[in-house]
Amino acid sequence: MMIMDITILLWLVLLVLNGIFCQVITLTKQDPCTPLSAGNSSIDDVPAISQALITCGNGGTIIIRAGEIFMIRSPLDFRNCIGCNFQIEGTLKVLDDIDYWEGKTAFFLMTNVVGGTFHSLTGSGLIDGSGQAFWDYFAINKTYERPLLIQFSNSSNIIFTKIKLIDPAFWFIFITNNSMNIKLSDLVLSAVSTSQNRPKNTDGFDTGECSHISISNIHVTNGDDCVSFKYGSDYITVNNITCIGSHGLSVGSLGMKPDHPYTVKNIYVSNAKMINSTTATRIKFFPGGPSHGTVIVRNVTFKDVIVDNCDYALQVDNCYESNVTTCKEYPSAAELSNIRFININGKTSKKYDPNIAKINCPPSGTCDITFIQWDIVAPSGNSTVLCSDYHNPSGIICKGATSSASFLFRNSFLLILILRVGVSILMLPHPPSHPQGFSLFLFILYCCFLFYFFLSRKTYTNFMFI
C-alpha cells in the first residue's frame, strides 16, 4: 500500500514538473510582434515599431506585414535589437519633411545592435527614403545637410538581406564606429531622379571604421560611388555586384583632414559588372602638406571586373578636389602597396577615347600597382593608359610622364652617366684588327640596348635616384 502511495506521489510530482517545463517552453517561444501602421501619412509609425522592438527585440521576431506602409517621421533606432529577427514584408517610407530632417544623422540607426537579422522572406520588403524632395532642394541649397538612409554604428554579427532600398536623401548604407561581422546580401539599391536634378551623393555602400564586412549579390543604380572604402576599412569583401550609372568602386577619398592617418587595407572585390560609370575602379586621395592627412592603401584586389561603357576603367587621382598649384607645392606622399587588378575586361565609352585609364601616382609616395590580364579597349580599338609618377608599370604600357625621356630628365645623374658612356664608346681607339667603324658599331649596339631596356621598363626601380 505504501509503495502504491509513493508511486502515485512520484507521478504527481512528474506531472507538476512537466507542466512547469511546458509553461517555460511556451514563454520562451514568444509570439511575433506585429506593429500596426496608423495608415495615415500625418502620423508617425516609429513609436509603434519601437515598442515592438522593446517587447520582442531580445531574441524575438518583429514583422512589418505585407501590404502595409509605415510612415517614418522621426529616426528609427534599432538599439533594442539583441539577436532579434526583424522581418520586412511591407514598406518603411520616410516622410520628406525637409525642415525636420535637416542635420539628422540617419533615417534608420543601427546603433549597438548585436546579432540581428533584417530580411524579407518574400522579397517584397521595401525601405523608401523619399529622396526626390531632398535632391531637388539640395540643387538650390548646397549647404543643406541630408541624413543617411541607414547607418550601422558599433554593431556586430548582423545579417541584412533580400530587401529593396530606394531613393535615399544621401548615402544608402554607412558602416562605421568599429562595426564588424556584418553580412549584406541579395539587395537592390535604386536612386533614380524624376526631375532634372541628379540624385547626388547617393553612394551605395560606404565602409568606414569597420572590419570583416561582406557585401554580395548586389544590384545598384545610383548617382555616386557604388561602393566607397573610406578610412578605417579593413577586411572588406565585395562579390557579385552590378553597378549602373555610378562613380565606380572607389577607395577613398582619403587624406582630407590632417588630424589622423587615413588607412584602407585588405579589400577584395570580385565579379563586378560596371555599366555606364564615370570610372569603373578608382583610388582617390588629397595632396600632401600640413592641411591633409597621411594616406596608406594596402592589399587591395579588384578581380574579374567587366567594364561596359565606363568613361575610365581605372583612375588613380593624387590631387582629389584640389588645384594644381597646391598639388605641386605639396605633392602626395601616399603609400599604395600591393594593389592588384586581375582579369579586368571590357570597353570604355567614347568620352576619353583612346584613353582607357588615368593613373596619377603620388609623386612623393609609393605606387605598387600590378595588372594581370588587363584587357580594356576604347571604342576606336586603341588602348592608351595615361600615367604620371608610375615608375615601374607592371602588366600595362603607360603613356605620359612615365616615358623614358621624362624619367631621364628627372634623374639627371642617370642621364649624365648614359651620355658619358655613349661618348666614351665613340671615342674608343679602334684596334688595327678591327674596321674603321667599329666604335660606331659599338655605339649603335649600346643605343639598341638602351632602347630595349627603357621600352620594357622591367627594371626601373633598380635605377631610380629620385
Catalytic residues: 247
In Å, how far are 71, 79, 104, 180, 181 from 111, measured between CA atoms? 21, 5, 14, 12, 14
Where b means 16+ CB within 10 Å and e means fewer, 333-355 reads bbbbeebbbbebebbbbeebbbb
Which residues 6+ apart lie within 8 Å of 319 measured at CB?
Answer: 286, 287, 326, 327, 332, 360
**Main-chain phi, psi angles of 149, to 5 degrees:** -75, -55
Which H or E run contains 62?
Answer: strand 61-64
Q: How many CB atoms lie within 10 A of CB 437?
A: 11
Strands 249-254, 227-229: pairing kind = parallel
Q: Find the angle CA(304)-CA(307)-CA(308) to the nearest 5 degrees.
A: 140
Distance between CA atoms of residues 410 and 458, nearest Å: 18
Q: How many CB atoms lie within 10 A of CB 212?
A: 15
